[in-house]
Structure 1
Amino acid sequence: MQWNLRMRAAERGVWKSAQMRRMIADAGLEISAGKMSSWWAGTPPTMRLEDLDVLCSVLECTPSDLMSPEPEKVAARRSRGAETVNGDDRRSDASDGGVSPVVAPRFGKPRSEPPL
């Protein structure tokens, strides 16, 4: 996804992250300077729906104004090669009928038992 927060903010006359943070706080969402910096500087790794709702309200936009799909990146990921499972080049996709890859046990690296 392409993150367009700065573009949408600029369209509303907001040029600094501190100003955007104050506007968000006025709307009832207190966020840290670090979180605002990650939103402002690039694509955030995660976004809570409540936070997205406040951003859209403050900027008078929709989520699709803040995010644009990038299907070419998804296609590039697929073409990079098959996923590896325990060193094997096997993958599951629609072209092979949705068959799951063979999963081999990991000897020497046992998983822990679940809590009782």
Structure 2
Amino acid sequence: MRAAERGIWKSAEMRRRLAAAGLEISAGKMSGWWAGTPATIRLEELDVLCSILDCAPSDLMTPEPQKVAARRPRQAETINGENEVGPTVSPRFGKPRSEPPL
């Protein structure tokens, strides 16, 4: 971990350094960062963090292409094992809708 390489062993110390650099974050948010992978991080926060740790964003983050692939919608199921997609739905023109009941 980059923090340990810089002699930062406790989250409270990291939080103090972030505050000295102009970034005040809550104890809960710091706990989330320190304990594991944060759900979100703003670019301004990332800039300050990289400044304190003297590193680049790529030193702190790793790509996870399998998670990106899991979020993509699945391809439509094929019919009878063929590469065709289900029937195309098209509107019927000519006959107007019936009137609503009174």
TM normalised by structure 1 equals: 0.58
1:15 alignment partner in structure 2:
9
User: Is 1:55 matched up with 2:41?
Assistant: no
Which digits, 9 at most, give the CA deviation of each residue in 1:88-111, with x for residues without a partner?
A: x728xxxx9xxxxx9xxxxxxxxx
| Cα 1:25–1:77 shift into 2, 3 Å | same
**5+ residue gaps, structure 2:** 78-82, 89-102
The residue identity in structure 1 corresponding to 2:20 is D
| Cα 1:74–1:15 shift into 2, 3 Å | same
The runs of 4+ residues in structure 1 deviating greater than 2 Å are 73-78
The residue identity in structure 2 corresponding to 1:30 is E
Q: Matched residues in 1 for 2:39 and 2:29: separation?
A: 11
| Cα 1:51–1:75 shift into 2, 3 Å | closer
User: Is 1:77 matched up with 2:63?
Assistant: no
TM normalised by structure 2 equals: 0.66
1:77 shift after superposition? 2.6
1:74 shift after superposition? 3.6
SS of the counterpart of 2:38? coil
Q: Which has the larger radius of gyration?
A: 2
The residue identity in structure 2 corresponding to 1:77 is A
The residue identity in structure 2 corresponding to 1:90 is A
1:90 alignment partner in structure 2:
76
1:68 shift after superposition? 1.2
| From 27, 31, 49, the counterpart of 1:37 | 31
1:8 shift after superposition? 0.8
Whose RCO is larger (CA < 8 A, sep 6+)? Answer: 1
